[in-house]
């Protein structure tokens, strides 16, 4: 029996904890029980949650000494470092061979414990830059849903915690067992693409003021075959000067920024319209469906069709199985 122990702290995210509890702690009809699931905390007793209620946790940090897998289901506020006792407990568990796993912001606890130094890791896309800035020894990948090194694993945002937990079950017990767990949760055994498809496109208000007039001009002309030379001419500067300003203010080249705006415009049309891919490609200046597919997959790790199926929102269309009123 594989023992999984979740390390919680106040205020605990109930959803992130439930990701691990549902995958590892729920008995399922027709499926042999392979996991035992428990919860511990540094100071046993009532633990406040972010949902407005307390839960009572009886086990302390010594429970980690008996775990085969340790899960840190979130660590908020992320800027508060774990205590020396928690750091020692995480390191001790890892040193004796336990697998240590984080969900979403839980990666900050693992980073404080030094378990991610020199390694690739991920977290929620909105916290990736903070993780990279605070822990430069960690190679932060803001795109993927999870990263698994065998002894240490990290997931992106809280929903990706389910993806990671199902992946670990698949690694432990095989694809058939994991598929049974996924079906019982009405979840896909494996999600396509990375988390960048879920990140919000930047708003023009976030753009540095000195480039704003040029960027607004470009945004209104995405269907035109604009080049970097066109941008430089409109701004009245050389291509080299334009590239330097983009690098200083936005951290990307003019060409990269222009392509990202075309991809963002395509995302909006995929979410809000039934236009065929060729029409969307022309509207955002990517010329053809083939070019759109290639650029889209390179940027987001998924296809336009898969993205549309995931994010298509049409209030006029009732959900499957629900009759229209």
Q: What is the 3-state secondary structure (H, E, C) of 73-101?
A: ECCCCCCCCCCHHHHHHHHHHHHCCCEEE
Q: Residue 5 pairs with which residues in a beta bridge?
A: 38, 70
Same domain, 152 and 77: yes
As given in the structure block, the two tokens for residue 25 are 């702690």
As given in the structure block, the two tokens for residue 9 are 């702290």
- Whether 48 is covered by a domain: the verdict is yes
Same domain, 28 and 150: yes
Residue position matching structure tokens 């080249």 = 253
- Rounded to whole angstroms, how far apart are CA atoms 170 and 193? 18
**End residue of a domain, out of 164, 197, 230:** 197
**Residue 11, preceding bond cis, omega within 30 degrees?**
yes
What CATH code is carried by the domain that includes residue 306? 1.10.10.60
- Whether 255 is covered by a domain: the verdict is yes
- Rounded to whole angstroms, how far apart are CA atoms 280 and 143? 24
Q: At what angle do helices 254-272 and 212-219 cross, to 10 degrees?
A: 40
- Rounded to whole angstroms, how far apart are CA atoms 122 and 139? 8
The torsion angle over the Cα atoms of residues 132, 160, 259 and 275, rounded to 10 degrees, is -170
Same domain, 181 and 295: no
Closest CA to 305 of 286, 292, 319: 292
Residue 311: per-residue pLDDT: 73
Q: How far apart are the first and last CA of the chain?
A: 50
Same domain, 120 and 145: yes
Same domain, 169 and 287: no
- Whether 320 is covered by a domain: the verdict is no
Number of structural domains the chain divides into: 2
Q: Are 82 and 63 in contact (CB under 8 A)?
A: no
- Whether 325 is covered by a domain: the verdict is no
- Rounded to whole angstroms, how far apart are CA atoms 16 and 158? 5
- Whether 321 is covered by a domain: the verdict is no
**End residue of a domain, out of 197, 232, 252:** 197
- Whether 319 is covered by a domain: the verdict is no
- One pLDDT digit (tens) per residue for the chain, 325 residues: 999 999 999 999 999 999 999 999 999 988 899 999 999 999 999 999 999 999 999 999 999 999 999 999 999 999 899 999 999 999 999 999 999 999 999 999 999 999 999 999 999 988 999 999 999 999 998 888 899 999 999 998 878 889 899 999 988 988 888 888 888 887 766 665 555 545 555 554 445 457 888 888 888 888 888 888 999 998 899 999 989 888 887 778 888 888 988 988 888 888 888 899 999 999 899 989 999 999 998 888 889 988 888 776 543 443 333 333 2
Residue 205: per-residue pLDDT: 40
Same domain, 63 and 128: yes
- Whether 316 is covered by a domain: the verdict is no
Residue 157: per-residue pLDDT: 80
Q: Residue 45 pairs with which residues in a beta bridge?
A: 57
Same domain, 189 and 69: yes
Same domain, 205 and 172: no
Q: Residue 47 pairs with which residues in a beta bridge?
A: 55
Closest CA to 162 of 187, 125, 128: 187
**End residue of a domain, out of 174, 197, 220:** 197
Domain region containing 273: 201-311
Residue 260 has φ and ψ, to the nearest 5°, of -65, -35
Residue 306: per-residue pLDDT: 86
Total length of the chain: 325
């Amino acid at each position: 029996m594989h023992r999984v122990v979740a390390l919680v702290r106040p205020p605990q995210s109930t959803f992130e904890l439930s990701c691990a509890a549902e995958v590892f702690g729920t008995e399922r009809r027709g499926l042999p029980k392979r996991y035992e699931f428990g919860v511990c905390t540094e100071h046993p007793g009532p633990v406040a949650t972010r949902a407005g209620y307390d839960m009572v946790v009886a086990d302390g940090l010594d429970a980690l000494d008996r775990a085969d897998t340790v899960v840190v289901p979130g660590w908020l506020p992320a800027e508060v470092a774990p205590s020396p006792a928690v750091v020692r407990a995480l390191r001790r568990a890892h040193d004796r061979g336990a697998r240590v796993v984080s969900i979403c912001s839980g990666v900050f606890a693992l980073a404080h414990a030094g378990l991610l130094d020199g390694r690739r890791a991920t977290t929620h896309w909105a916290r990736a830059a903070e993780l990279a800035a605070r822990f430069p020894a960690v190679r932060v990948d803001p795109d993927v849903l999870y990263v698994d090194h065998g002894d240490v694993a990290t997931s992106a945002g809280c929903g990706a915690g389910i993806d990671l937990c199902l992946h670990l079950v698949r690694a432990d017990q095989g694809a058939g067992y994991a598929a049974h767990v996924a079906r019982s949760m009405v979840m896909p055994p494996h999600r396509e693409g990375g988390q960048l498809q879920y990140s919000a496109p930047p708003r023009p208000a976030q753009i540095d003021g000195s480039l704003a007039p040029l960027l607004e001009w470009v945004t209104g002309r995405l269907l035109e075959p604009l080049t970097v030379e066109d941008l430089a001419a409109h701004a009245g500067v050389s291509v080299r000067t334009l590239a330097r300003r983009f690098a200083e203010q936005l951290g990307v080249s003019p060409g990269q920024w222009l392509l990202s705006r075309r991809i963002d415009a395509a995302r909006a049309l995929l979410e809000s319209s039934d236009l065929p891919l060729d029409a969307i490609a022309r509207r955002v200046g990517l010329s053809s469906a083939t070019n759109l597919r290639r650029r889209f997959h390179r940027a987001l790790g998924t296809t336009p069709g898969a993205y549309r199926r995931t994010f298509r929102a049409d209030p006029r269309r009732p959900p499957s199985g629900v009759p229209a009123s």
